[in-house]
């Protein structure tokens, strides 16, 4: 076994310190070490998008980072986006537009779309479709997801 | 599967990183963006016993103007930074046009400009673009530095001129020549998928609106970037009319490429795409250079 690394990382505003193996993927660290299972694991090679989180404010694939690389950095997962009592406007829009069925892909979509809408508060349908091209959904056929983004953009503008 | 154990180092200077590579040689792999390396480790196709992480070396992250009018890009600069840099849009428009074709935004937020070059995936966009531009690669080892032009950097299948104890530290993009046009095109099944075929074209016109220079480079048709020398020969000194461009496209598909079949596409289909993309790319590039077809 390789030497353990002392990791310090902030996740959803809370600072964590853990001793971990370098080979531990960030996705598995979040799920197994921190119990934050909202971040999902699908393909482990970067194409499906279910593991997408926000790392220092940017959308990244947590399956393509080792947890040790997050030392000193700032992570937001879907658990940090909103609460059941107070959903993020994007989560509200997903519910209202029926943009989820099994919801396995949903956290990855949300964490992709939050930074996207920050940079593009008024996107065209073309821009939305391009932005979500890196997230796969087997249930919805994507149409309602696109509608949810339009709805969220509208609501967040007011 | 999960990656097997490895020793992990996170040096904070290039010199430290080079010392580690000199110490461990072939046992060590460099971790840049990790967007290609980590998938192979997740599947245990690669099992390095040592990982040297370059992500904590600030001196490798930059985009700066070159005195000659071009751009210098530090090897660890994130692809998303290159994508959004106004200096790149102004001085390296071919690169600017190519960036959104690379995978997805989430990948580009970690993937690095230099890491992509050093990995030398035959399906990657940036190596082909760097050959079309005649970019130069700055390589550093413990004994010093050397510069390698793009068409000597890419040697074969996932193989570059880098030795195990060397690092790519910078890519120098040349200034845009006078009367220059460019185009990047690729065909993939879904947006963001690996290209079935891609083309990077850089052309210049002379004072009589004839083709002066043409660099036409393909990706996904061979072991690395494949330059279409016959197609370029057909065009040089000619007026780039649709007929001339068609002839160049025939030459590219017939003489310049020898693609293979795989699960994604047959050789025939790749040849077909070579012809189609050459026509489209050259039409766009010469148009941008200022050629107007008056026939």
CATH of the domain at B240: 3.30.390.50
* Residue numbers in A near B80 (CB within 8 A): 58
- How many domains are contained in chain B? 3
- Average per-residue pLDDT for chain B: 97
B24 lies in some domain: yes
Q: Kindly state whether residues B45 and B80 are assigned to the same domain.
A: no
Q: Which residues of A touch B (CB under 8 A)?
A: 1-3, 5, 21-23, 25, 28, 44-46, 49, 52, 55, 58-61, 63-66, 68-69, 71, 112, 116, 130-131, 133-134
Which CATH number is correct for A5-80, 3.30.360.10, 1.10.540.10, 3.40.50.10490, 3.10.20.30?
3.10.20.30
Flag if A46 and B51 touch (Cβ within 8 Å).
no
Residue B104 touches chain A, beta carbons under 8 Å: yes
pLDDT band at B75 (very low <50, low <70, confident <90, very high): very high
- By Cβ distance, the residue of A45, A52, A133 closest to B42 is A45
Residue B25 touches chain A, beta carbons under 8 Å: no
Q: Kindly state whether residues B115 and B132 are assigned to the same domain.
A: yes
A31-77 confidence digits (pLDDT tens): 999 999 999 999 999 999 999 999 999 999 999 999 999 999 999 99
What ipTM was estimated for this complex? 0.96
CA distance from start to end of chain B: 61
Q: Report domain extents, chain A.
A: 5-80, 89-157
* CATH C-level class of A89-157: mainly alpha
Q: What is the domain range of residue B44?
A: 7-53
Residues B241 and B267: beta-carbon distance below 8 Å: no
Q: Could you tell me the pTM of the whole model?
A: 0.96
Residues A2 and A21: beta-carbon distance below 8 Å: yes
A25-60 per-residue burial string, b: 16 or more CB within 10 A, e: under 16: bbbbbbbeebebebbbbbebbbbbbbbbbbbeeebb
Question: How many residues does this entry show for chain A?
Answer: 158
B19-71 confidence digits (pLDDT tens): 999 999 999 999 999 999 999 999 999 999 999 999 999 999 999 999 999 99
**Average pLDDT of B13-23?**
98
- Tell me the C-alpha distance between B184 and B181, whole Å: 11
B210-249 confidence digits (pLDDT tens): 999 999 999 999 999 999 999 999 999 999 999 999 999 9
Q: What percent of chain B has pLDDT over 90?
A: 98
B295 lies in some domain: no
A5-15 confidence digits (pLDDT tens): 999 999 999 99
Q: Kindly state whether residues B83 and B97 are assigned to the same domain.
A: yes
Measured CA to CA in angstroms, residue B266 lies from A48, B123, B190, B248, B281 at distances of 25, 15, 17, 22, 22
Single out the residue in B140, B173, B206 at which a domain terminates.
Answer: B173
- Tell me the C-alpha distance between A14 and B95, whole Å: 39
């Amino acid at each position: 076994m390789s030497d353990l690394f002392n990791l310090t990382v902030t996740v959803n505003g809370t600072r964590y310190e853990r001793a971990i193996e370098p080979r531990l993927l960030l996705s598995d660290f979040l799920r197994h070490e921190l119990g934050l299972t909202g971040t999902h694991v699908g393909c482990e090679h970067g194409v499906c998008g279910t593991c997408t989180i926000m790392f220092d404010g940017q959308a990244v694939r947590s399956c393509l980072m080792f947890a040790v690389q997050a030392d000193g950095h700032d992570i937001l997962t879907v658990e940090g986006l909103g609460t059941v009592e107070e959903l993020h406007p994007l989560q509200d829009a997903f519910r209202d537009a029926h943009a989820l069925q099994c919801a396995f892909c949903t956290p990855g979509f949300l964490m992709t779309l939050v930074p996207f809408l920050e940079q593009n508060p008024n996107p065209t349908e073309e821009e939305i479709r391009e932005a979500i091209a890196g997230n796969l959904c087997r249930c919805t056929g994507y149409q309602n997801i696109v509608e949810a983004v339009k709805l969220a953009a509208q609501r967040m503008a007011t | 599967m999960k990656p097997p154990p490895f020793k992990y180092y996170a040096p904070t200077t290039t010199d430290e990183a080079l010392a580690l590579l000199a110490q461990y040689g072939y046992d060590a792999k460099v971790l840049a963006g990790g967007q290609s390396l980590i998938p192979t480790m997740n599947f245990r196709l690669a099992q390095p016993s040592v990982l040297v992480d370059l992500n904590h070396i600030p001196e490798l992250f930059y985009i700066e103007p070159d005195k000659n009018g071009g751009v210098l890009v530090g090897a660890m600069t994130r692809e998303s930074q290159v994508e959004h840099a106004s200096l790149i849009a102004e001085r390296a428009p071919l690169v600017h046009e190519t960036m959104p074709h690379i995978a997805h935004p989430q990948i580009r937020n970690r993937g690095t400009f230099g890491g992509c070059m050093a990995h030398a995936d035959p399906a990657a966009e940036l190596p082909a673009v760097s050959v079309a531009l005649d970019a130069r690669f700055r390589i550093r080892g413990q004994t010093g530095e050397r510069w390698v032009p793009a068409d000597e950097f890419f040697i074969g299948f996932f193989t570059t001129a880098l030795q195990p104890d060397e690092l790519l530290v910078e890519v120098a993009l040349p200034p845009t020549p006078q009367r220059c046009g460019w185009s990047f095109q690729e065909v993939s099944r879904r947006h963001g998928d690996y290209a079935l075929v891609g083309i990077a074209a850089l052309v210049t016109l002379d004072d009589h609106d004839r083709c002066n220079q043409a660099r036409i480079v393909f990706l996904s048709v061979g072991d690395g970037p494949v330059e279409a020398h016959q197609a370029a020969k057909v065009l040089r000194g000619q007026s780039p009319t649709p007929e001339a461009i068609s002839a160049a496209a025939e030459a590219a598909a017939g003489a310049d490429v020898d693609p293979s079949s795989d699960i994604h596409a047959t050789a025939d289909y790749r040849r077909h795409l070579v012809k189609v993309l050459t026509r489209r790319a050259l039409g766009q590039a010469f148009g941008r250079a200022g050629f107007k077809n008056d026939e």
